[in-house]
Amino acid sequence: MSEVPGGAEQQTMRVYLRVRPFSKEELADNEDQDCVVIENSQTVTLNAPKGSATMKSSEKGIGMSLHKFSFSQIFGPEMTQLELFEDTVKSQMCDFLEGKNALIFSYGVTNAGKTYTIQGTPKEPGILPRVLDATFHYIGSHVYEGMDLKPYHRNDAQHLDPDQVKQERSAKAAIFASVKECDPLRASVLASNLNEAGSSQFALWVAFFEIYNELVYDLLQPSLCSKSKKRAALRVCDDGAGNAYVKDLRWINIQTMGDASKLLQFGNRNRSAAATKMNQSSSRSHSIFTMKLLKIDGSTVKRISEFSLCDLAGSERCNKTKTFGERLKEAANINNSLLTLGKCITALRNNQTDSYIPFRESKLTKLFQAVFCGKGSASMIVNINQCASTYDETLHVMKFSAVAKQVVQVIPDKPLEALAPCLVGHDGKPLRNGVVGSQALESYLSEEEQLDDEEDEADMSLLPQNELVNMIESLRTKFLAERRRHLVQEMEIRKEMGDAMLQQLMESEELRTRQVEELKESYQVKLENTFEMYKDAFKEHAYQSAMNNLEDDYVPLDEFIAEQEKVEALKRKVSELETITSSVKGSVCARPTVDQSCQTNATEAAGDYRCKRLYEEKCGLERICEDKQQLILSLEKRLMEVSETLQKIRDGFLEKSADLEVLQRRCDDQMEIVCALNNVEKDREIDSLKAELAKLSQKSPVKPKTKRGLLANIREAVTSPRKSSTGRTLRKTVRAVNH
């Protein structure tokens, strides 16, 4: 801890590490591979096991398999809940009772023991029950039982009328009526060496809410009777002083440890939890338990201190937990809010308040922005397990905590919480002992009204006339000198900006020119490839069409030649039969004697029968020849049709080639038009910048050197002549196809 100017204290955020012991199931699954080695009370070493992503990366030469981390203090598996409380939370507990704000985060992967660390069990109570017990031990018998003073917004208090007090008591009774009787934690279990309060009275108000899917829900609201009804989400508002608070959040006044135990039981019953592969009861939301301690003297609230314990939902990988559907949405929101928390802590580590810190990107970081910015002390308890299967997630958590440990908090010596809070009435208007207080009213005044008051106070001071004149002259001289200096500085800045802008324009113009040329070349290559693709497609289509038309009536060449030879043989046989027939008829006519008339008749009958048979064979052969001739004619007709189809396909291919050439010319024209338009726009921008530069140069004593020939060079580089090689290629291809 170190001091900074202004009486403030500067300290780094305290980050503690707690290592969970192995369970019997984890030991049976061989999860103990010495992944986590505690060197001493502040140093721990992580060894990557085989099969983990970290080990695979280190084997490839990316990253390391051994990592060392340091913490404010490390608690091993044998550490008890009481020892953890004494060594971590005790100092913040003292600050809380003395009027300062405190915040504790419990961070880690799923199934690392965060909820056990915060709440614990009835036999082993965690941090939250011990803080409550220590608070009641500090208050002792000085409990304010009126319930008419209640926290309001973030740092103020509200005075309740009797009707509002009755409503508060009814709401408290309704909650306690729905909770079974439970044994309160005994003070003897929770060792506390805190000093008791003095003569003042104290009122302890608590709130219990959760952030689920980036929506805020009150855990102390009675549960709905029907599951179909959705819970009412609460808004996170700003009180006007940069402090965020949850609007309409229910605050319950507790006066005993039994009341606190019942509230915890009621709130945990309403908390969002579900079973995943890594944890049977995984917290699916960030739960926040906030206590506000009001120090009361008579009917005046002297101070209000706040203590918040945040049980963060476990960061997880969806492939490890096997989440899907609603669980996947929950995991996405959990990881998103934790990512925003990491971004805020990284920004605080790098540059405390000079850079933008994304507090408002998440409800979690927005609520605790004031604590991170110095209006309280914050600490973190990191929970990890030693399982080899979750080593990569554990390493990510350790890297996050290493960044958090380097955050420096600047805490003022007299924080705002130590001042008397503003007391408001039941209608929300500021009160101070029953009347409007001057300090409270000043906080509600606008900035213009406060400035008017300051001017009135300045007019009350009277000075001699000569001193006033001298003061006015000196102020006028200083004003003119300052104005002249600002004008010179403005001219120099404008000149530098103009030169830088011109240089940037020139570089961007050259880059655009190169990009246009590269685009033209790429489009040319694409057009050529497209043309070749269409050409191959047309050839393939023509071949397939011809083959489909010939498949049905296709006759092999060997069969066709064999049929022709059969026809020729039949023709020769017919001609021989005709020759024999004619010779038989001539021999019959050469024998006219009477003696041989009977023999002639018999011979003629036999000759007629043979001629008849030969004629019938001739007719059959002629019919066969005619059929074969018709088949030949049909095949020739088919060949003609195929030739015509091929001719049509060739003509279509030539038409498509011509269309493609036309489209290519159109594309070239469009490219030239686009380039011309871009050049016109750039010319206009350059002309406007030149005009502005000329105006600046007229005011400045140093005239900038203008670079001539810039637009001419740009036009020459952009408007390159068209390449007609593709057109020639198309014409050559068309001529080759025609031939």
For residue 235, give every residue at least 6 positions away whose Cβ sits within 8 Å of its Cβ, in sequence order, or none.
216, 246, 247, 248
Planar angle of CA 681, 687, 693, nearest 5 degrees: 140
The whole-chain average pLDDT of the chain stands at: 78
Token pair listed for 634:
């049909």
For residue 84, how many other CB atoms are within 10 A of its CB?
A: 20
Taking alpha carbons only, the member of 91, 83, 148 closest to residue 426 is 148
Helix (H) or strand (E) holding 41: none
Q: How many CA atoms lie within 13 A of 606 on its CB side?
A: 7
Residue 108, marked binder:
yes
For residues 552 and 278, what is the distance between their CA atoms, to the nearest angstrom? 68
Per residue in 41-51, pLDDT (tens digit) is 999 999 999 88
Confidence of residue 289 (pLDDT cuts 50, 70, 90): very high
Of residues 432 and 232, the one with the higher pLDDT is 232
Domain range list for the chain: 81-314+323-384+414-418, 494-561+644-738
Residue 325, marked binder:
no
Give the sign of the dihedral formed by CA 260, CA 266, CA 270, CA 273.
positive
The bridge status of strand 273-274 relative to strand 252-254 is: unpaired
pLDDT surpasses 80 at 428:
no
Of residues 715 and 265, the one with the higher pLDDT is 265
What is the arithmetic mean of pLDDT over 142-146?
89
For residues 530 and 411, what is the distance between their CA atoms, to the nearest angstrom? 70
Q: How far is CA 205 from CA 100, 248, 267, 418, 626, in A?
A: 16, 15, 15, 18, 118
Three-state SS letters, 552-575: CCCCCHHHHHHHHHHHHHHHHHHH
Give the per-residue pLDDT at 733: 43
Token pair listed for 171:
């709401």
Give the per-residue pLDDT at 324: 47
The bridge status of strand 2-4 relative to strand 8-12 is: antiparallel
Per residue in 240-287, pLDDT (tens digit) is 777 889 999 999 999 999 999 999 999 988 887 644 545 444 567 889
What CATH number belongs to 81-314+323-384+414-418?
3.40.850.10
Quote the pTM value. 0.57
For residues 628 and 624, what is the distance between their CA atoms, to the nearest angstrom? 6
Per residue in 549-558, pLDDT (tens digit) is 766 666 677 7
What is the arithmetic mean of pLDDT over 398-403?
85
Per residue in 69-81, pLDDT (tens digit) is 999 999 999 999 9
Of residues 572 and 75, the one with the higher pLDDT is 75
Residue 113, marked binder:
yes
Give the per-residue pLDDT at 413: 56
Residue 111, marked binder:
yes
Are 158 and 152 spatial neighbours (Cβ–Cβ below 8 Å)? yes
pLDDT surpasses 80 at 473:
yes
Are 555 and 563 spatial neighbours (Cβ–Cβ below 8 Å)? no
Look at 317-326, 461-470, 524-533, 684-693 and tell me which has the smallest mean pLDDT.
317-326
What is the arithmetic mean of pLDDT over 14-20?
93
Cα end-to-end distance, the chain, whole Å: 95
Taking alpha carbons only, the member of 566, 523, 478, 490 closest to residue 671 is 523
Q: How far is CA 192 from CA 484, 545, 689, in A?
A: 67, 97, 73
Residue 378, marked binder:
no
Residue 110, marked binder:
yes
Confidence of residue 406 (pLDDT cuts 50, 70, 90): confident
For residues 366 and 363, what is the distance between their CA atoms, to the nearest angstrom? 5
For residues 433 and 424, what is the distance between their CA atoms, to the nearest angstrom? 10
Give the per-residue pLDDT at 730: 39
Are 204 and 135 spatial neighbours (Cβ–Cβ below 8 Å)? yes
Only one residue has tokens 């637009």, namely 711
Token pair listed for 342:
């990491």
Residue 115, marked binder:
yes
- Classify residue 359 by its DSSP letter: G
Confidence of residue 431 (pLDDT cuts 50, 70, 90): low
For residues 237 and 588, what is the distance between their CA atoms, to the nearest angstrom? 138
What is the arithmetic mean of pLDDT over 505-527?
89
pLDDT surpasses 80 at 484:
yes
Share of the chain above pLDDT 70, in %: 75
Are 134 and 399 spatial neighbours (Cβ–Cβ below 8 Å)? no
Give the per-residue pLDDT at 436: 41
For residues 341 and 369, what is the distance between their CA atoms, to the nearest angstrom? 10
What is the arithmetic mean of pLDDT over 574-599?
66
